[in-house]
Amino acid sequence: MLTDADAVRALYVEYLDAGCDVLRTNTFQLNERIYLDVFRDPAHMAHIGAPGLETRHADLTKRAVELALEARKQTGKTRTAIAGVMAPLEHCFRPDLSPDHDTARQEHNELAEILAESGVDIILISSMNTIHETRAAIEAARLTGLPFWVSFVLGPEGELLSKERLAHAVDTARHMGAAAILIENVPPAAAAAALKKVEEGGPAGLIPHLGKYDPPSWKFEFFPRFAQTDEWPPERLAEEAHGWVHHGARIVGAGFGGGPEHVRALVGVQGATS
């Protein structure tokens, strides 16, 4: 977004031209920690880091929204909502790294405020892996006055990666005002299996992981350890999505490994927001 803003805008345009109903901002896990985690502390970052790192997360978040707004104006897709993405402050597959509630609340407050002031229509609290950080992010989102959605990332047993019960997480999010609950960043079969737990009480949906994630990579402690051996071309995703909608999903999307061509295929699924 600093050196290739035109490419980011062009990709937004591709998704809009594909017919998406909701355009997610390029802000997944964009926060101050992704810079601080490279250094010992803020003083160390200021001493040897590049200039401006302490505000780069805010600058890039604003830029991401600006590019999305420009793409929407360029395409004339004025009815497409722009969803400002907030994710776990640490890696979405590492719930053990999640900061305590008060710390998370303070950091999510900043992110939600930047997204709202930049002009997003809704906030997507994406791929949450613990209930306490979900609460903190929701509290921050509610301060903006914008509608918000919440998605959860699951472990192989079908519960949150923190091993907390998905049903409890869903009840918490709905009670706190989430307009929709999603399952995200898990393989399609696992996402579909969790649908019953999220569809009660309001709109629900699935944004499955379509790519191949097969650790260990350069981080050996990552989990869950899943590797998809089959392929998910757009036609197959659309075919499966018909079944998901039949069983209660109202929002369907293409997660990591997907692209505009998957969204284009999903547009033909009756009764679903993509």
The pairing of strands 180-184 and 148-152 is parallel
Say which range, 90-99, 126-135, 226-235, has the weakest mean pLDDT: 226-235
Residue 35 to residue 51: CA distance in whole angstroms: 12
CA distance to 52, 62, 201, per residue, from 56 (Å): 6, 10, 39
Task: Show Cβ contacts of residue 113 under 8 Å, excluding neighbours closer than 6 positions.
Answer: 140, 143, 144
- Unique residue bearing structure tokens 């002031």: 117
Instruction: Look up the pTM and report it.
Output: 0.92
68 pLDDT more than 70: yes
Are 195 and 244 a contacting pair, CB within 8 Å?
A: yes
Say which range, 1-5, 36-40, 241-245, has the weakest mean pLDDT: 36-40
216 pLDDT more than 80: no
% pLDDT > 70, the chain? 94
- Count CB atoms within 10 A of the CB of residue 133: 26
Task: Show Cβ contacts of residue 180 under 8 Å, excluding neighbours closer than 6 positions.
Answer: 149, 150, 202, 203, 204, 205, 250, 251
Q: What are the counts of helices (DSSP H) followed by strands (DSSP E) for the chain? A: 11, 7
Say how far residue 77 (Cα) sits from the centre of its chain.
21
Residue 220 to residue 215: CA distance in whole angstroms: 7
In the chain the domains, ranked by start, together with CATH numbers, are: 5-266 (3.20.20.330)
